[in-house]
Each structure stands twice: as C-alpha cells, then as structure tokens.
Amino acid sequence: MKSGSTRDYNNEELVEGLKVQNSQVIQYLYEKVGPMVYKLILDSGGKLADAKDIFQEGVLAAYLNIRTGKYSSSQNAKFSTYLIQICKFKWYDLNKSSYVKKKSDEEIKDIADVEEWSGESEAEQRIKHLHKLLGHLGERCKRILHLFYWKKLSIEEIGLAMELETNSAKNQKYRCMKKLKELATHKN
C-alpha cells in the first residue's frame, strides 16, 4: 500500500485519532511508525511476519492503554516513541518466552538424565522416575506442568485454564520446574 497519508499528525491528534479508531491516523501509524518497528525487529533477528504481528499487537496495546486511561501524554515523549517502546517490549517478551520454553525443555531432559539408567526398559525407568518426582509436587504444579509439557498448551492458555494472569502462570511454571529439578538432583 502506497502512502495515503497527506499530512503529519501531532501527539494529541495521534492519541485522539487512535482512541476513536480514525482510519487515517491508523494508516499514518502503519506508514510512519511501522517501518521503524519492522527495522528494529529485523535487525534483531526477527522475520517480517513477526515484525508485522508485533506492530499490530503494539497498536492494539496502545489503543487499549489510551481507552483505559493507562496512557498519559507527556510533553517530552512523542506518541510514536511510546508505540515503538511497546513494540520493543513485546518483541523482547516474545524472545524471552521462547528462550524460557527452550530452557525448560532442556531442564526436563536434564531431569530425565539425572541418574544412570541401564537395562532394556530405560525409557520406562525414566518415565517412572519422572512420575515419582511429580508425585512430590503439589496438585497445582502437577497440573501446570502436565498442561505445558504433555498437552502442549501455551502459558496464556494455561493461565486461562487455571484462572491465573499470564505472568502468574509463567512464574508458577518456573517455580514448579525449579522444585522438580531440585527433587531430581537430591538423591533420596
């Protein structure tokens, strides 16, 4: 889409335009701020599809912050800078959650490899050992780990299923994994 915006908007016009979902203001944001976000994400190893998704999520988050009163305009900060910051944090959160999931997957493998296994039923012994360790966890931890590793649900989906905020679900999963790893490394 070629530039359809014929003018620049000041901060108040951008905020008010996004608040009322003015299509010209939204198009302006996509044309003027979008490319800056795309470059930021592409330069940090992301793909264009990721960048477009993150920018769209950022615009939605900014809109919600304006509508709920969480955004307050500052004379020193441009709205475009605020929007770019939202997108940057969303990108970093996405990368962090990917890293955390990869690390958690490695930790599960480490737990399964804690003891020396021998014999024909090595896989069965590992599974029994893992189930024994899981038996020492509380019901909430068991359910969170089951939903994450066996049902392959995202942290957001686990939060919904457990009636938790996403960050709480993420923190609880981390604590549960930490407890499970502690149990695995202590020889009983």
Q: How far is CA 27 from CA 6, 12, 58, 176, in A?
A: 11, 16, 14, 45
The domains of the chain are located at: 11-93, 113-185
Q: Rounded CA gap, 141 and 63, in Å?
A: 35
Can you give the three-state secondary structure of the chain, one letter per residue? CCCCCCCCCCHHHHHHHHHCCCHHHHHHHHHHCHHHHHHHHHHCCCCHHHHHHHHHHHHHHHHHHHHCCCCCCCCCCCHHHHHHHHHHHHHHHHHHHHHHHHHHHHHHHHHHCCCCCCCCCHHHHHHHHHHHHHHCCCHHHHHHHHHHHHCCCCHHHHHHHHCCCHHHHHHHHHHHHHHHHHHHHCCC
Q: Rounded CA gap, 88 and 67, in Å?
A: 21
Q: Rounded CA gap, 133 and 98, in Å?
A: 26
pLDDT recorded at residue 30? 93
pLDDT in tens, the chain (188 residues): 444 556 889 888 999 999 898 999 999 999 999 999 999 999 988 889 889 999 999 999 898 888 888 887 765 678 888 899 999 988 888 777 655 555 555 555 555 554 444 444 566 666 677 777 777 888 888 888 888 888 888 888 888 988 888 888 888 988 888 888 888 777 54
Could you tell me which CATH class the domain 113-185 is placed in? Answer: mainly alpha
Q: Which residue reads 């900014």 in tokens? A: 62
1 alpha-carbon distance from chain centroid? 30
The pTM of this model reads 0.51
pLDDT recorded at residue 167? 87
**In this structure, which amino acid lies at residue 23?**
S
Q: Rounded CA gap, 37 and 90, in Å?
A: 11
For residues 134 and 126, is the Cβ–Cβ distance under 8 A?
no
For residues 66 and 11, is the Cβ–Cβ distance under 8 A?
no
